[in-house]
Amino acid sequence: MTAGATPPPELDPVIHAQARLRVVAALNTLGDRDEMAFPALKDLLGMTAGNLSVHLTKLEDAGYVRITKTHKGRTPVTYVGLTKRGRLAFDEYTRAIRALLDHAGGSS
C-alpha cells in the first residue's frame, strides 16, 4: 500500500463466515417484517439443523436475526427473520465487499 492510500474496508466477521453470509443473504430477500420457517431455511441452504442452529445463534447474539418460537396446533414451529440491525449490517457488508473488490481491481 502506498503512503496516503486508504486501507481496504473491514468486513463484519459475524456475517463474513460463509454459512452466516448465506443465511443473511437468504433472509434479506424477505420483506422487513417477514419470517421464514426454520425447516424451509434449512432446506433452502442445504444445511443440517444443527449447523444452521449454531449459525443462527451467532447471528441472534449479534442482533442480526430474530427467532420466534411458537406452535401450530400442538406442533412447535420456529421462524427466523432479519432484524433492522441485520439488514443494515448486510447492506454495510455488501458495500464493504464492493469497495474491497474495487480496491483490489486497481487500475484495470
pLDDT in tens, 37-87: 999 999 999 999 999 999 999 999 999 999 999 999 999 999 999 999 999
For the whole model, what pTM was predicted?
0.86
Q: Print the SS3 string covering 44-105.
A: HHCCCHHHHHHHHHHHHHCCCEEEEEEEECCEEEEEEEECHHHHHHHHHHHHHHHHHHHHHH
List the CATH number of the domain containing 27: 1.10.10.10
Distance of CA 58 to the CA centre of its chain: 10
Expressed as residue numbers, the domain containing 72 is 13-99
Query: Residue 80 domain-assigned?
Result: yes
Cell 469497495 sits on residue: 99
Query: Residue 20 domain-assigned?
Result: yes
Asked if residues 59 and 65 have their Cβ atoms less than 8 Å apart, the reply is yes
pLDDT in tens, 7-45: 777 899 999 999 999 999 999 999 999 999 999 999 999
